[in-house]
Amino acid sequence: MTLTLGETEVPWAGGDRTVVGANLSLPLFRTLSGVLAGHPYLKVVVDRVESTWHLLDTRVHPFHVNYIATRVLGMTLDELDADLDAFNASVYMDPERRFLLGVLSLHSEEAADGSESPFLVLETTEADTMHAALLEEFYLYVRGRVDGRLPLLLKPANHGQEHELASVGEARVPRILSHRLFGDRTRTCLNPGEAEGRLRHFRTMAEYEAAAAQLGWADIVAMPRLPDDVPRVAGFVNTEPITPLSHTNVLASGWGIPNAIMRDLDALVRRDGLDGAWVRYRVREDAVTLEPLSAAPDLTKPAWHQQRIRIETPLLDEAPVLALHRLRSTDRDSYGTKAANLGELHHVLDSRTADLTAFYARPRPPRRDLLGHLAARLGEQGASPERLRAAAARCVAETVRAPEGVALPFRLHHLFLTSSPALQQGIGKLKMALELEAFDIVDPLCLSLQHLVRTAPMPDEVARAITASVPGPPAGGHRMVVRSSSNAEDLPGFSAAGIYDSVTTVRGVEQLMDAVRQVWASLLSPRSVRLRHQVGISLDDTYMGVIVQEYVPASLGGVLVTCNPTRREDFRNVYLNCTPGSPERVVDGTVLPQQYLYNTVEGGGRTLDVGTSGEDLPPETRTALARLALTGRLLQSHFSADDPDGALDIEWLMTDEGAFRLVQVRPYAR
């Protein structure tokens, strides 16, 4: 059957409405389509043997392979599941494949007169390895069966397809890249969730700062870009682009609150008078909505008001200043989790004895495991488990290095605090104010204590321990980076992302001592004290270790997390952000980074956003980042051994020579 663009009647009353062989019109598309990421979409299958195509009823057939196996090839689902990976390879990777699988999505662009013009985009799944001739054949087949008044563009699904299409003229196969198609998306999910609360819309930082002290747990805070010191509230809304790996979104993830980008919020607020109104805020991967409520809801305080975070008792005994490579993860109670994790990283890289295949060894029903995919990624097809473990350890050790440096134990922080009667008296007052919940004086007390920490003289014993152990000659031009490593962060339910200080431009003894004091002082910032108090972490049990690392110049720096932050059930992808220079620029919002997803199961990667730079990275750099993403996944097997799906948050940098250094490994709040 063939429908025309103007036809409006739907010839089906129910059941499976899948169509075989028909030309595609806009009404037929809308009849069969579902919605993904806010856009209508339709799954299509081209059968090269039968010279026809299938337009799948999305409601009935959510998976291409299930449809092909059961409806075209007459298999049962049990037969498909028994050899699913081999079947997937036959339809996504075989260069002589019978079927071409793809998705058509409907988009629109605004014309000069303000009208909306619809167009279709064709793409394959992200793991598809179609070569140039197949991509061209697929596009031309679909183009010949879609109403000619609907423009059709091909979107490469991964970097490999981009490379293949370079040999095909754009006049023959018009195309659009993913970051061009979605870079101006009006609404974008950052952290899924739902909340009811009072919308507080701030157009400037000055407006926010004037009201920040009055923000409470029932507020949904909206502004161009939320500051890192935003208090714990019901939800976040950003009106300008930001990455899911920003500090504020890591906090949203750890706190379990919705967060999204809504570029149209200003217009929505003006139209519906939503500023200060009660709203229902829903954030999902495929939709972001903000609905006014007719009346204030009957809200109860969220569960985190009763949340109590367990913290291990810090060890304040004779722990020495140690080189990072001498630490192990079990040393966290003396040096903090960040320092202990870097020590553990040294051990993994140097010993090559850790089993880094555990993530891939987990059952992924109907798959028994993903070890065959790992073998393919490592070029070790058919390898024994022992050989595969050795190959994984070798891959990681050859791809990344751990930072050189030293760790200052909690003991030095304790000696510093107890050396000053003024500090002890001030801490006593702060503890009393917290116990009495006299929050009007907590912030001034914190600020006064921070000033005392930054200006108090360093006890001789502490100064000697630091200066005798720092890497390189501290009196010269040797540059160091001083980082926090507290026992009150990276805890289940309490990530503390961005609330403690690091100092990245340290030279000489005097600057080193100032930087150490600044890091110690950040443990007493008003925000960090309030956040810990909210979850029951006692001031008496909270200490700060310090990491002193060598400074390594970076041509590229970034963050990766071993999950897809906006789709938690996705076990394939690693999300990676980067920008020229320091990785801190990715998370602090100074620039919008380049953003990538790398598939660590079937392989391949794709560009999501080119960020402030406006340009994608060169292909050879993207290939190197794919190996870094795989390395992060392998390290997840070791650092998340108690929870194989527990994601890692890794800060990294790439030197001018193309070598990768990992400067931080921590749990990613989920």
Could you report the per-residue pLDDT of 149-161, keeping only the tens digit for each? 999 999 999 999 9
Q: Name residue 433's amino acid.
A: A
Q: How confident is the model at residue 6 (pLDDT cuts 50, 70, 90)?
A: very low
> Using one digit for the tens of pLDDT, what is the confidence trace for 375-428?
999 999 999 999 999 999 999 999 999 999 999 999 999 999 999 999 999 999
pLDDT tens-place string over residues 648-666: 999 999 999 999 999 999 9
DSSP letter at 69?
I
In this predicted structure, what is the pLDDT of residue 211? Answer: 94
The rounded distance, in Å, linking the Cα atoms of 577 and 632 is: 13
Within a 10 A sphere around the Cβ of 21, how many other Cβ atoms? 14
Query: What is the rounded distance in angstroms from the CA atom of residue 566 to the CA atom of residue 564?
Result: 6
Beta bridge partners of residue 410, listed in sequence order: none
pLDDT digits (tens, 9 = 90+) for 296-353: 888 888 877 777 888 888 999 889 999 999 999 999 999 999 999 999 999 999 999 9
What CA–CA distance (Å, rounded) separates 665 from 651? Answer: 7
Question: What distance in Å separates the CA atoms of residue 660 and residue 574, rounded to the nearest whole number?
Answer: 17
Q: What is the pLDDT of residue 12?
A: 44
Q: At residue 13, does pLDDT exceed 80?
A: no
Q: Is the pLDDT of residue 172 over 60?
A: yes
Residue type, 305: H
Token pair for 380? 């070790």
Q: Count CB-CB contacts under 10 A for residue 612.
A: 15
Q: Is 508 left (phi over 0), alpha (psi -120 to 50) or beta?
A: left
Most confident of 29-38, 175-184, 294-303, 326-335: 326-335
Contacts of 505 (CB under 8 A, 6+ apart): 479
With a cut of 70, say whether residue 3 has pLDDT above it: no
In this predicted model, what pLDDT tens digit does every residue of 353-385 receive, in sequence order? Answer: 999 999 999 999 999 999 999 999 999 999 999
Cis ω before 156 (30° cut-off from 0): no
CA 422 to chain centre: 43
- Across the chain, which distance is largest between two alpha carbons, in Å? 89
User: 548-597, pLDDT tens digit by residue?
Assistant: 998 999 999 999 999 998 887 899 999 999 998 877 777 766 788 999 99
pLDDT tens-digit map of 112-138: 777 788 999 999 999 999 999 999 999
Q: What pLDDT is stored for residue 575 in this prediction?
A: 96
Domains of the chain in start order, with CATH, are 19-176 (no CATH), 187-299 (3.50.30.10), 307-356+382-551 (3.30.1490.20), 552-670 (3.30.470.20)
Q: CB count, 10 Å around CB of 60?
A: 12
3-class DSSP assignment, residue 634: helix
pTM: 0.91
Concatenated DSSP letters for 306-322? T-----PPPP-SSPPPE
Is residue 147 predicted with pLDDT exceeding 50?
A: yes
Of 105, 73, 111, the residue nearest 91 (C-alpha): 73
